[in-house]
Structure 1
Amino acid sequence: MSSEQTPSDRTRIDQILTVAQMRDAEQALIDAGTSVDELMQVAGRGAADWVWRLAGHHKVTVLCGPGNNGGDGYVIAEAIRERGGHAVVIAATEPKTDAARNARALFKGEVIALDAPGGDVQVEGDVFVDCLFGSGLARPLTGEHAAVVNALAASHRLSIAVDLPSGVQSDNGMLLNEHLPKYDLTIALGAWKFAHFLMPASARMGELRLVPIGVEPVAGAAFAVARPAVAAPSADSHKYKRGLLAVVGGAMPGAAILASIAAQGAGAGYVKLFADSKRNAPADLVVDTGALSDVLADDRNSAVLVGPGLGRDGLARERLAVALADAVPAVVDADALILLAPRHLAERQAATIATPHEGEMVALERAFDLDGSGSRPERALALAAESGMIVVAKGPDTVIAAPDGRLACAPRATAWLSTAGTGDVLAGAIASRVASGVPAFEAACEGVWLHGEAARLCPPAFTAGQLAERIPAALAACV
């Protein structure tokens, strides 16, 4: 995404819509004068551009269902045929919408009817395109349909899902059927859906691409975390103007050091670690071994980070209380999340960002009397609303929720992040962006993006230390 795009452009490109929001957005286009057939042509031909990139003149098999997702499939097949490609359609059933029937009538290639006598599908090809069902599916595939999808995926070199893989629940990312195939590419139509970002569905989608169809920004919609635009320091900057981050150490000093190194590379001008010892700290990291109350009394502090390596004993509880007494934005991570209780936040005026993994999320839900029900975004929003914190529910499907209802989902990052210490790096990156003066919710999104990009720049089986060292390179991609 280029820095020249307006906020409206960014929202239009990055928004994540529920099934109901997408239906309303499409209806708004229809009410404004765009026909369903025109929308289908825009969506289908946009998807065909991506299919063509993978298939070219190789054989394409398009599985079409009865609804408008099936109609998109007929448009894709015709667009491939018009380019001189080889596209065959397998019709799982007859089209049941006017637009789908019109799209089928316009397709001039071969159609194999699955429900016709002898319609047992044994088709091989190079690229399988799944247009059986789209984002509106709420029930499992029939045994016949599931078998066809799996057979076609197995008999083709590459598999592409259009809008969503068939058998996926759009709003929560759950699989409606077991043993669904994995896809090499999923082409979202009109807007992102939650399933593109949430487990377990997102793990089966391969690369993600979006085909715009003119949908306008939807008020209150969630959005996908995108590469931030970071301005270089002004000509008159100094370390305090760029932000002083106080990092509170504890029983396991290595975690706080990792977080501090990440923070140094994410934009803050000054990172100061409060610890009992300077042992193992890099030479360019300031370590203060004095009283924590003195460190946090520094009115030059821009933000505070507490939790990595903190421990869970009485001293840790004391340090958490002192850290949250500082009247600056705070990032609360790791052990501090287990110790955190509503009373710690009762007097806070500045923003607080919590970065729980699943186990810590459950502990916070208990502490704030929440039942933990609902989808991952719903749980994060509920915790944010109840606690007043910005919640970064981290994991393979990270979501960021704010007390005012804002919600963001992070793109799927490399699974190599599943190693000890990477959460400390994430906390440091987020805290650094907050210390730099970025508003808390936006800082959380920026830190999550930097974390994922740094992981992409690392070799396989990287360590948390290697990840922290890549944070400056990730930041460089944003300047």
Structure 2
Amino acid sequence: MTDTRFSGKNPVHLLDVARMGAADQAAMAAGVSGPTLMAAAGWAVAREIRARWQRRPVLVLRGPGNNGGDGYVVARLLAKKGWSVRLMGLGDPERLTGDAAVMRDLWRGPEEPLDPSALDSIRCPPDLLVIDALFGAGLARSLEGAALEVITRLTRGVEEGRLTCVAVDMPSGLHGNTGQVLGAAAPCALTVTFFCPKPGHLLLPGRTLLGELVVADIGIPESVLAPLAPDCAANTPGLWRLPQLRVAGHKYQRGHAVVMGGARMTGAARLAARGARRVGAGLLTIACAEEAFALYAGDQPGAMVWSLDRDGDVETLLADRRKSTYLLGPGYGRGSETADLALTLARSGRGLVLDADALSSLSGRLGELREALTGPQAGPQAAPCVVTPHDGEWASLFGGTEAGGGDPSADRLTRARAAARAGGMVVLLKGADTVIAAPDGRAAITANAPPDLATAGSGDVLAGMVTGLLAQGMPAFEAACAGAWLHGAAGQNVGPGLIAEDLPEALPKVLQALDTTG
């Protein structure tokens, strides 16, 4: 999936299907007619097709609603330019109503019933371009009957290299809000959507089926957006602002982060510490048992090391208010002692990132964690807390309705939001489509993570980066979003052969590019 607006300076709002429908209605209330919007949508699709392909045979698959109306427009405009266009419709065209009926009446060519066999190798030309205008983002139930069969055969043709598919709004069979496949969905070379992307354009597996994504302007006024109160966005640099260095600033103003280091798997905490430092934390302390002190002290000259046995216990650390943000989890070890330490840190009112072993150790204790963050023993203001689970850790801490985390089978956006509400904290649900959710309902979907990041220690670096940003004063939601995006950008910068140690070292170039362009 590519689209230049996903790397721009402005937020990219994602509208769910209901809000997108409301945007259409608001545009019409503002004086833009339905047929005008539909004509503009079809024109945008035809324009993008002509910009990428020479004239070739085209088969338009027309659906029973407005997506099918867009299909009529595409067919008419391509035929007008001399393309050989064949149109097949699902359902009786005479039963179409509204704007789709208007576009049906403007189509002067023949229309055939939907015939799945038309996509078989013996019946279609080898360079056939198929325009999927069956359902778009509004589909809410699994495909069936002729629609399922035609999408199944279309998928086979694309996979065999015989057919090329272009989707209008969303590949048919993909849920616009979740990106989940409802029965079947064909891989596309191009998807053209309108006004704003949908969450399903960024969530997996939908994102892998779009091909190139183009978000076309069809005349919906920007003024309709604010009343819709969009609460989901693509995670891009337009969504957050990194801490700005001051000419007269000093290291103490850039925050003092503390990484709790385990005694056995020390690599995780060291990677996290490196990530926190590279992302800009002014000072960093690794707190560990005396037995691991020498190992940590000999690793990073720029990091301080605190022996919990010799220099003072956790309460002594917390007595120093300059140590503003703590990370617990990477390589620390699992068990009740880790859970109790997490609760102690949560009660301190400091910034807190919980990852890995901390999350597993807190299984069944979500209520205690929330109480520690917000209850009477907490500081004067609820501590900014970010948890960074992968799917297994999410299930351990939040899974199931009894924990308030919702249905474990739900899509990742729904699960992240439910967990954030249940825990009263920012949830960074890690994966190829990382979702960040805040307790107030805001969410962001990250789409820049390369598959190279699937390597040991990568998540530890991410946790450290979020910690470093929190220590510099970024709000928890924005710190989590920025950390996830920077993590993906660093992975892209390194590319094949990436190991976790490469990620902190790739950050300076990523940060420099942001400073130069943004």
Relative to the length of structure 2, the TM-score reads 0.82
Tell whether 2:90 aligns with 1:74: no
Is the Cα–Cα contact under 8 Å of residues 38 and 69 in structure 2 kept in the other structure?
A: yes
Question: Do the aligned partners of residues 49 and 137 (structure 1) sit closer, same or farther apart at CA in structure 2, a change above 3 Å counting?
Answer: same
Matches of 2:294 and 2:212, distance apart in 1? 44
Structure 1 letter corresponding to 2:359: L
Structure 1 letter corresponding to 2:478: E
Tell whether 2:368 aligns with 1:343: yes
Structure 2 letter corresponding to 1:252: M
Per-residue Cα deviation, 1:312-346 (whole angstroms, up to 9, x for no partner)? 14553454344334432111111111223332424
Structure 1 letter corresponding to 2:261: G
Matches of 2:165 and 2:342, distance apart in 1? 50
- What is the aligned partner in structure 1 of residue 396 from structure 2? 363
Matches of 1:190 and 1:33, distance apart in 2? 16
- What is the aligned partner in structure 1 of residue 176 from structure 2? 170
Select which of 261, 264, 277 maps to 1:249.
261
Question: Do the aligned partners of residues 442 and 114 (structure 1) sit closer, same or farther apart at CA in structure 2, a change above 3 Å counting?
Answer: same
Question: Do the aligned partners of residues 326 and 104 (structure 1) sit closer, same or farther apart at CA in structure 2, a change above 3 Å counting?
Answer: same
Question: Do the aligned partners of residues 3 and 203 (structure 1) sit closer, same or farther apart at CA in structure 2, a change above 3 Å counting?
Answer: closer
- What is the aligned partner in structure 2 of residue 133 from structure 1? 135
- What is the aligned partner in structure 2 of residue 182 from structure 1? 187
Q: What SS class does the counterpart of residue 183 from structure 2 fall into?
A: coil
Tell whether 2:119 aligns with 1:98: no
User: How far 1:99 sits from its partner (Å)?
Assistant: 1.9
Aligned alpha-carbon RMSD (Å): 2.9
Matches of 2:53 and 2:421, distance apart in 1? 47
- What is the aligned partner in structure 2 of residue 223 from structure 1? 233
Matches within 5 A, 1:286-365: 286-289=304-307, 290-293=311-314, 294-313=316-335, 315-340=337-362, 341=365, 342-344=367-369, 345=372, 346=375, 347-348=377-378, 349-365=382-398
Matches within 5 A, 1:36-47: 36-47=34-45
Which of 373-382 and 426-435 deviates more?
373-382
Structure 2 letter corresponding to 1:422: S
Matches of 1:468 and 1:111, distance apart in 2? 60
- What is the aligned partner in structure 2 of residue 264 from structure 1? 277
Tell whether 2:400 aligns with 1:372: no
Matches within 5 A, 1:47-62: 47-62=45-60
Matches of 1:77 and 1:87, distance apart in 2? 6
- What is the aligned partner in structure 2 of residue 239 from structure 1? 251
Q: Which ranges in structure 2 are unaligned for 5 or more consecutive residues?
A: none
Question: Do the aligned partners of residues 371 and 381 (structure 1) sit closer, same or farther apart at CA in structure 2, a change above 3 Å counting?
Answer: closer
Question: Do the aligned partners of residues 425 and 92 (structure 1) sit closer, same or farther apart at CA in structure 2, a change above 3 Å counting?
Answer: same
Q: Which has the higher helix share?
A: 2
Which of 195-204 and 347-356 deviates more?
195-204
Which of 64-73 and 96-105 deviates more?
96-105
Structure 1 letter corresponding to 2:358: A
Question: Do the aligned partners of residues 19 and 318 (structure 1) sit closer, same or farther apart at CA in structure 2, a change above 3 Å counting?
Answer: closer
Question: Do the aligned partners of residues 119 and 419 (structure 1) sit closer, same or farther apart at CA in structure 2, a change above 3 Å counting?
Answer: closer
Q: What SS class does the counterpart of residue 451 from structure 1 fall into?
A: helix
Percent sequence identity over aligned pairs:
36
Is the Cα–Cα contact under 8 Å of residues 130 and 164 in structure 2 kept in the other structure?
A: yes
- What is the aligned partner in structure 2 of residue 450 from structure 1? 486
- What is the aligned partner in structure 2 of residue 32 from structure 1? 30
Q: What SS class does the counterpart of residue 319 from structure 2 fall into?
A: coil
Q: What SS class does the counterpart of residue 136 from structure 2 fall into?
A: coil
Structure 2 letter corresponding to 1:43: A
Tell whether 2:124 aligns with 1:123: yes
Which of 314-323 and 329-338 deviates more?
314-323
Is the Cα–Cα contact under 8 Å of residues 63 and 130 in structure 1 kept in the other structure?
A: yes
Structure 2 letter corresponding to 1:254: G
Q: What SS class does the counterpart of residue 425 from structure 1 fall into?
A: helix
Relative to the length of structure 1, the TM-score reads 0.88
Which of 252-261 and 49-58 deviates more?
49-58
Matches of 1:427 and 1:379, distance apart in 2? 20
Which of 146-155 and 437-446 deviates more?
146-155
Matches of 1:323 and 1:87, distance apart in 2? 66
